[in-house]
Structure 1
Amino acid sequence: MQFRLEKRPQPSRLMLYAAPILAVILTMLVGGAIFSAIGYDGPGAVREIFITPLVTSYKWQDLGIKAAPLIIIGVGLAVSYRANVWNIGAEGQYVVGGVCATGVALATYGMTGWWILPLMALAGVAGGAAYAAIPALLRTRLGVNEILTSLMLTYASVQLVYYLVRAPWKDPMGMGFPQTRIFSEAARLPTIIPGTIVHLGVPIAILVALIVWFVMARSLFGFQVRVVGAAPHAARYGGFSENRTIWLALLVSGGLAGLAGMLEVAGPFQRLVPGFPTNYGFTAIIAAFLGRLDPLGVIFASIVLAITFVGGEMAQTTIGLPAAAAGIFQAMMLFFLLAGDLLIRYRLKRVTHQPTEARA
C-alpha cells in the first residue's frame, strides 16, 4: 500500500486566509513549547515577543519603523512571486539602494534643498533595480536560475558596504569607527509625529502598498504578471512575453527594495554603517507569503513580523532570550504557513496495487 499527493479542488478564500492566522497561532504554541524544553521561559517568550509590543504604547512607534521596510520590500517580492520569478536577493538590492542613496547624501553634504531627498530616492530605486537586472539578464539570456544569482549577489553587496565604510567613505572625524559621516539635515527623513521616531518613510510604505495593489488589480501589467505566473503557455498565446515579464518583475522588486534601503539609511541610520544589512530582505520573503502575495495582506503580515522584531529585542533584556529568538519564531511561522498550504491544496490518497492478473 502506497500514498500519493492528489490535488484538491480549488480551496475557498476562507481557507486561504485562515491558514496564515493558524500559522501564527501554531508558531506561538510550538515556539513556547520549544523554548520551555531548552530551559527558557516558554510562555514568557511568547508573551514578550507577541503580546508586549502591542500593549506597550511607547513601542508602537518602533513597530512602524520596523514594518515600513518590510512592507515596501514584501510588496515588491509579491509582484515578483506572482510572476513565478523567485527573487531571493532582495536583501542585496536593499543594501545597494542604501549605498546609492548614501552616495547622493555625501555628494550633497552641506547643501540644502527639498530636491535632495527625492534625488536620494531615485538613486536608491535605480541602484536596487540595477542590481536586480543582473539575475534578470542571466535568467533571460543564459537560463541561469535567478534564485542562486540573486542570493549570491547579496553577499557581494554586504562586502561592498564593508569596503566603503572602511576606506573611501569613512568619516574622518569618526574616531576610527567604520562608518560614513552623519548626513546633513536635508538628507534625513523628517519625523511626522513630534516627540517620536516615526519618520516619513512609514506613510510612504503604506502608500507604495496601496499603489501596487491598485496596479496589480486594475492594470494590464498586473493581469500580465498573474497570467505569466499562473499559465506561461496561455500567456504566450495572449501575446505576453515571458522574458519581458521576468525583467519587469525583477526590476520592480529590486527597485522597491532599493527604495526601502534609501528610507532606512536616511531615516533610522542617518549614515551608512556596517550594521546596515539587517536581514529585512530575507524577512520580507516571509511577509510576502504570509500576506498571500497580496499588497494589502503584506501590510498586515509586515506588522506581525515587526512585532516579533520589537518583541525579540525586549525579550533579550526582560527574560534573557537569545538574539536569534525572533528569527526562530519567524522561521517557524513560514514553515507552518507552507505546511498549511500543502494540506489545503493537496491531500494524501491511498493507492492499492491490484494483482497482475487483475490488471491484465
Structure 2
Amino acid sequence: MLKIEKRPEPSRSMIYATPVLALLLTILTGIALFTFLGVDPLEALKNFFIVPINNPYGFTELLVKATPLVLCAIGLSVGFRANVWNIGAEGQLTMGAIVGGGVFIYLHDVDSVFLLPLMVIFGIIGGALWAAIPAFLKTRFNANEILTSLMLVYVAILVLSLLVHGPWRDPDGFNFPESRTFSESATMPILWEGTRLHFGSIIALLVVFGTWIMLSKTLIGFQIKVIGAAPKAGSYAGFSQKKIVWFCLLFGGAMAGLAGVAEVSGPVGQLLPSISPGYGFTAIIVAFLGRLHPIGIVFAGLLMALTYLGGETAQINLGLPVAVTGVFQGMVLFYLLACDVLVNYRFRFAQFGKAAS
C-alpha cells in the first residue's frame, strides 16, 4: 500500500520540479474544464498559450504585462524569504501610481527631462510609505501584516477613485473619471516603435539583477535568509528582526510603487479609477512559482503575463468568460502549494503487513 513518510531533509530536486508539475496539472485540469464548457481543449490551449505571442507585437505585449508582475514579485519575495507576509502589493502599486502621477498633475505645464525621473522617485516613495503603515503596526503593536497590508489595498483604491472623480479629474475630459493624459515628458520612452514596450521593462531587469546581488552578496541579504530560516539563530547572532521587517516591507512597497508609476506613465498614460487588473495579487503567485529567486521570478512573471493575454484571446476568439484567467492563475497556485508537500515528504509503497505493524 502507499504511505507518506517525511524526508530526512528537503529535496532540492523537488524544489525546482514542483513548479513544472504544478503547471502540468494546471494544463490537465484546464483540458477538463474546457471540455466541460463545450470548447475544443486543444484549440483553447492554443488560444491561451500560443496565439497571443505568435507575432512580434504579441511578444512585446507579454513583456509589458510581465513588467509590473516581476517588479511586485521581486519586492514580495524578499519579505517572504524573511517570513514577512506583505499581501498588499496591489495597494502599494496603486499608491505609487497616485503619488508618482500626482507629480505630473501638479506640474502638467512643465516640459522637462527631469519630470519623469521625479515621478519615478515619488512613485517609489509613495509605495514605500504605504507599506510603512503595516511595518509600524507590526513592529510597534505586533499587528498581523497580512491583514493590515491587505486592508490598505482597498483604502488605496478608494483614494484613487476619489481623486479621479474629484480634484484630479481632467477639466477637458467631458466629466469622465480620469486625470489629464500624461505629456511626452512624463511618459516612459518606447523601446520598440509601433508597440507599447517601454523603458520600464529595462528598469525591471535592473531591479532583478540588483536584488540578486543584494540577496547573495550583501549582509542584509544574509540577515534576511537567516531570520527567515532560523529566527532564534538570527537573534542570537545579533540580527534585529524589527529592522528586517521594516526593510522587507519598505522594499516591497517601493518595488510595487515603482510598478505603479511605470504603469501609469507607460501603457496606461493617465490615472484611471482602475489601473491594475490585479497585478499585486498575481505577483504573490509569481513569487512562489519562481521559488522566491530573482531569475525564477522573471520566468514565472512571463508565464503569468501569458495567462492575462491568453484569457483575453480566448474571450475574443472562443467566447470564454473573462474569469477563465483568474481560474488558471488560481489553479497554478493551488497545485503549487499542493505539490510543495513533495519537498518535505515522499510516497513509498509498503507491504500491507508491514504498514499495519
TM-score under structure 1 normalisation?
Answer: 0.94
Q: What does residue 127 of structure 1 align with?
A: 126
Please give the alpha-carbon distance, in whole angstroms, between the structure 1 residues aligned to 2:241 and 2:10.
Answer: 27
Alpha-carbon shift at residue 55 of structure 1 (Å): 2.7
Please give the alpha-carbon distance, in whole angstroms, between the structure 2 residues aligned to 1:7 and 1:231.
Answer: 20
Q: What does residue 255 of structure 1 align with?
A: 254
1:153-194 residue CA offsets vs partner (Å, 9 max, x unmatched): 101111111100000000111111100010121111110112
Q: What does residue 281 of structure 1 align with?
A: 280
Alpha-carbon shift at residue 332 of structure 1 (Å): 0.4
Q: What is the correspondence of 1:31-50 to structure 2 with a 5 Å cutoff?
A: 31-50=30-49
Q: Which amino acid aligns with 2:63?
A: G
Are 1:295 and 2:297 matched, yes or no?
no
Alpha-carbon shift at residue 225 of structure 1 (Å): 0.4
Alpha-carbon shift at residue 352 of structure 1 (Å): 8.1
Contact 2:79/2:248 (8 A) holds in 1? yes
Q: What does residue 234 of structure 2 align with?
A: 235
Q: What does residue 183 of structure 2 align with?
A: 184
Identity %: 48
Please give the alpha-carbon distance, in whole angstroms, between the structure 2 residues aligned to 1:82 and 1:45.
Answer: 36
Please give the alpha-carbon distance, in whole angstroms, between the structure 1 residues aligned to 2:221 and 2:169.
Answer: 43
Cα separation, partners in 2 of 1:344 and 1:255, compared to 1, 3 Å: same
Are 1:318 and 2:317 matched, yes or no?
yes
Are 1:96 and 2:129 matched, yes or no?
no
Alpha-carbon shift at residue 143 of structure 1 (Å): 1.0
Alpha-carbon shift at residue 117 of structure 1 (Å): 1.1
Q: What is the correspondence of 1:194-205 to structure 2 with a 5 Å cutoff?
A: 194-205=193-204
Q: Which amino acid aligns with 1:315?
A: A
Are 1:18 and 2:47 matched, yes or no?
no
Alpha-carbon shift at residue 37 of structure 1 (Å): 1.3
1:268-292 residue CA offsets vs partner (Å, 9 max, x unmatched): 1110001213200000000000000
Q: What is the correspondence of 1:58-69 to structure 2 with a 5 Å cutoff?
A: 58-69=57-68
Contact 1:158/1:277 (8 A) holds in 2? no
Please give the alpha-carbon distance, in whole angstroms, between the structure 2 residues aligned to 1:157 and 1:324.
Answer: 24
Instruction: Kindly report the root-mean-square deviation, in angstroms, between the aligned alpha carbons of the 2 structures.
Output: 1.8
Q: Which amino acid aligns with 1:17?
A: Y
Q: What does residue 144 of structure 2 align with?
A: 145
Please give the alpha-carbon distance, in whole angstroms, between the structure 2 residues aligned to 1:54 and 1:18.
Answer: 25
1:251-303 residue CA offsets vs partner (Å, 9 max, x unmatched): 00011000000100100111000121320000000000000000111000000
Cα separation, partners in 2 of 1:152 and 1:348, compared to 1, 3 Å: farther
1:294-323 residue CA offsets vs partner (Å, 9 max, x unmatched): 011100000011111111111111111111
Alpha-carbon shift at residue 41 of structure 1 (Å): 3.3
SS of the aligned residue for 1:268 comes to coil
Contact 1:316/1:323 (8 A) holds in 2? yes
Aligned length: 351
Please give the alpha-carbon distance, in whole angstroms, between the structure 2 residues aligned to 1:58 and 1:117.
Answer: 25
Runs (5+) with no aligned partner, structure 1 = 355-360
SS of the aligned residue for 2:265 comes to helix
Q: What does residue 270 of structure 1 align with?
A: 269
Q: What does residue 57 of structure 1 align with?
A: 56
Alpha-carbon shift at residue 13 of structure 1 (Å): 2.9
Q: What does residue 73 of structure 2 align with?
A: 74
Please give the alpha-carbon distance, in whole angstroms, between the structure 2 residues aligned to 1:145 and 1:274.
Answer: 28
Contact 1:45/1:321 (8 A) holds in 2? no
Q: What does residue 218 of structure 1 align with?
A: 217
Q: What does residue 135 of structure 2 align with?
A: 136
Please give the alpha-carbon distance, in whole angstroms, between the structure 2 residues aligned to 1:294 and 1:18.
Answer: 14
Please give the alpha-carbon distance, in whole angstroms, between the structure 1 residues aligned to 2:173 and 2:54.
Answer: 38
1:190-237 residue CA offsets vs partner (Å, 9 max, x unmatched): 101122211100111111111101110111010000000110000001
Q: Which amino acid aligns with 1:124?
A: G
Contact 2:70/2:297 (8 A) holds in 1? yes
SS of the aligned residue for 2:173 comes to coil
Alpha-carbon shift at residue 104 of structure 1 (Å): 0.3
Please give the alpha-carbon distance, in whole angstroms, between the structure 2 residues aligned to 1:59 and 1:6.
Answer: 46
1:24-62 residue CA offsets vs partner (Å, 9 max, x unmatched): 121111112112113333332222112222333330010
Q: Which amino acid aligns with 2:260?
A: G
Please give the alpha-carbon distance, in whole angstroms, between the structure 1 residues aligned to 2:191 and 2:57.
Answer: 16
Contact 1:49/1:326 (8 A) holds in 2? no
1:310-351 residue CA offsets vs partner (Å, 9 max, x unmatched): 111111111111111111111101111111111221247999
Please give the alpha-carbon distance, in whole angstroms, between the structure 2 residues aligned to 1:32 and 1:114.
Answer: 50
Q: Which amino acid aligns with 2:224?
A: V
SS of the aligned residue for 2:123 comes to helix
Q: Which amino acid aligns with 1:83?
A: A
Q: Which amino acid aligns with 1:186?
A: S
Runs (5+) with no aligned partner, structure 2 = none
